[in-house]
Amino acid sequence: MKVHLLKLRTKATFGSKKEALPFQMKITLTILIGIFHLSSLMAQQYETQQYDLIKKIEEAELRYYPPVMKIKSSRVDGFRALFGYISGDNAANEKIAMTTPVYMGEDSTGNEVMEFVLPRAMKKEYTPAAGSEKVEVYESPSGYFIAYSFGGYALDWVVRKATNTLRTLSEKNEIKIKGTPLLLVYNSPYKFLNRKNEILFEVEAETLKMD
């Protein structure tokens, strides 16, 4: 099956004009096409990561995410390694279903990362190790996050606007965010209408007012 490489590339940038961008995230249509395994799989329904909605805060949502197994690659072109893992390049030679969303952000050392969420049925003790050193298998900790959804394609200016909107909403509602923003992509690039993306920030739980 052929993947046609499209040279259209965008840089997703975050933050205000006064601050250094937390990361430069190069999102190519090639990568996103690969994320959902080409047109032959586009009609499938993918499992979506679960979370508990705590409350709505104007246009944003405060959520609680339970622990979940994920795979991560710190390479810019890490999609192939991640897709290889769910295609059977793992210790169990097991094929694993694709899920949504795909996470993009940066790790604690400032490296760009891409993450796949593994199906919720996969538990830590039964999740196979990666067959490639480019892939890290881990269980994400639980946490509270504030999320802001936006449509269309995740172009740099669109992502920047969404990120700034979420920062403003958080500050206005006295919600203390921490870390760098996460971009969540839910759709294949073949879907032109009703697209869904989200920006997430982790929230310091002790500052939350649960009313």
Alpha-carbon distance of 38 to 189, in angstroms, equals: 10
What is the tens place of the pLDDT at every residue in 37-83?
443 444 457 899 999 999 999 999 999 999 999 999 986 767 889 99
Region of residue 38 (left: phi > 0; alpha: psi -120 to 50; beta: else): left
Residue 82 lies in a domain: yes
Alpha carbon separation from 172 to 12, 50, 113, 210 (Å, rounded): 25, 27, 30, 16
Question: Who has greater pLDDT, 53 or 7?
Answer: 53
Query: Which of 101, 24, 98, 53 lies closest to 210 in space, CA to CA?
Result: 53
Residue 112 lies in a domain: yes
The pTM score is 0.79
Question: For residue 16, is pLDDT > 90?
Answer: no
Residue 196 lies in a domain: yes
Residue 198 lies in a domain: yes
Question: For residue 202, is pLDDT > 50?
Answer: yes
- The single residue listed with the structure tokens 């940038």 is 13
Residue 1 lies in a domain: no
Q: Supply the CATH number for residue 148's domain.
A: 3.20.80.10
Query: Pairing mode, if any, of strands 47-48 and 68-73?
Result: unpaired
The pLDDT value recorded for residue 184 is 97
Burial 38-59 (b: 16+ CB within 10 A, else e): eeeeeeeebeebebeebeebee
Residue range(s) defining the domain that contains residue 168: 9-207
Residue 2 lies in a domain: no
Number of domains in the chain: 1
What is the tens place of the pLDDT at every residue in 84-112?
999 999 999 999 999 999 999 988 888 88
Query: Which of 143, 177, 148, 144 lies closest to 160 in space, CA to CA?
Result: 148
Question: For residue 8, is pLDDT > 50?
Answer: no
- The single residue listed with the structure tokens 């405060």 is 62
Residue 159 lies in a domain: yes
Half-sphere exposure of 52 (CA within 13 A, CB side): 8
Question: For residue 135, is pLDDT > 90?
Answer: yes
Question: Who has greater pLDDT, 110 or 161?
Answer: 161
Instruction: Write out the H or E segment, with its range, that includes residue 113.
Output: strand 112-117
Residue 4 lies in a domain: no
